[in-house]
Amino acid sequence: MAYSKRCIVTGAAGFIGSALARLLLKETDATVLVVDKLTYAGVPESLKEVGLDPATLASSNPRLAFLKADICDAAAMDRAFAEFRPDTIFHLAAESHVDRSIDGPGEFIRTNVTGTATLLQAARTYWQGLDDAAKAAFRFQHISTDEVYGTLGATGFFTEKTPYSPHSPYSASKAASDHLVRAWHDTYGLPTLITNCSNNYGPYHFPEKLIPLIILNCLDGKPLPVYGKGANVRDWLYVDDHARALLLVNEKGVPGETYNVGGHNERTNLDVVKTVCAILDELRPRGGTDGGSGAGTDGGSGAPAPRPRYEDLIQFVADRPGHDLRYAIDPSKLMNELGWQPRENFETGIRKTVEWYLANDWWWKPIHEKRYAGQRLGKA
């Protein structure tokens, strides 16, 4: 692809940022500077396949460099802009887990709000020093969530014009950051782009989030916690489809505009959990492929007992406080104006995801053992 910009990608040791960095390095000629603080959610191993040494953060890829820094550190951000001289910045660094925002909102305000403001100021200072052509071509792209719009009832979709109505400390902090980005566009003329995306899933997803948590709990034979009755609806997008949308918006989006990203894949949480269970029943049956320990004989009849299914591990637990009922994205602006189409639907994407976790325990096992073992968060 004829895309050869110099890109700062903040938060690229995280789930979506690493997918974007892998896309930029594998399928374009872009040069990437990752800026990431490496919080509990930062996993440099996610960039190993594009040349990063996770132990030293040195890169064998001449188009990739890693700067371990906090986006709230104004001097470090000024230096990063001055030395790397980017054509664009994709801003994904954030505290991203709703349940953790319930337990400790302070870090969400610091990184998501103050950190975004700090980056905007660093970008503005750098941008003002560019010549006219470079100034016009520069983009500050802010990656946000559909959660800023609040909750839907049984029908309807979020459009770019839906009023903001965030309910969790996470979504409120993201809403604040979106407003800051718009303010820097409207006040200073900084060429900004905002994308609001639905729930992502896919490889390299930190195991605190629903889908990887369910996969790993299944493999451990642990209960599968489902909040409330599992009736909350989310609109799921495969992470690589999100990364492609971000690249497209960066190339073709109109400065000052917002684009919603979603692929019309609404599922209740219970459906999602049952789908993961069914794929694992097929690919890694409980009790092993030969019938194993789980499948004994049925009483005196001699007939084999039914094989235990992963679904039997589902446990309904107390709901998340302030849990939004339904999110669903209307992506027609992105599709009609910029020509985006997702490549995966939920069925194809979720199968790829389960297969990836089965094949890549080198990535998730150390996280599971040392950083997060599946405990309940965010009960307030």
Positions marked active-site:
146-147, 170
Scanning 150-158, 192-200, 279-287, 322-330 for contacts with ligand NAD by CB under 6 A, the matching segment is 192-200
| Token pair 């968060």 in the structure block, residue | 377
Scanning 70-78, 245-253, 264-272, 282-290 for contacts with ligand NAD by CB under 6 A, the matching segment is 70-78
Residues 204-243 that bind ligand NAD (CB under 6 A): 206
Residue with the CB atom nearest ligand NAD in the bound state: 14
Residues 100-139 that bind ligand NAD (CB under 6 A): 111, 115
Looking at the Cβ atoms of 113 and 218, the one nearer to ligand NAD is 113
9, 15, 211, 273: residue in contact with ligand NAD (rule CB under 6 A): 15
Scanning 31-39, 211-219, 279-287, 320-328 for contacts with ligand NAD by CB under 6 A, the matching segment is 31-39
28, 59, 118, 199: residue in contact with ligand NAD (rule CB under 6 A): 199
**C-alpha dihedral sign at 11, 12, 14, 20:** positive
5, 22, 139, 174: residue in contact with ligand NAD (rule CB under 6 A): 174
CA dihedral 18, 102, 74, 129 (to 10 degrees): 60
- Measure Cα distances from 269 to 54, 227, 229, 233, 307 in Å: 34, 8, 9, 6, 24
175 binds ligand NAD (CB under 6 A): no
262 binds ligand NAD (CB under 6 A): no
d(CA 261, CA 342): 10
d(CA 128, CA 141): 17
Edge-first strand order for the sheet with 64-68 is: 64-68, 31-36, 6-10, 88-91, 139-145, 192-197, 258-261
272 binds ligand NAD (CB under 6 A): no
11 binds ligand NAD (CB under 6 A): yes
**C-alpha dihedral sign at 173, 174, 180, 184:** positive
Contact indicator for 95, 168 with CB cutoff of 8 Å:
no
| Interface contacts to ligand NAD, rule CB under 6 A | 11, 13-17, 36-39, 41-42, 70-72, 92-96, 111, 115, 143-145, 174, 197, 199-200, 206
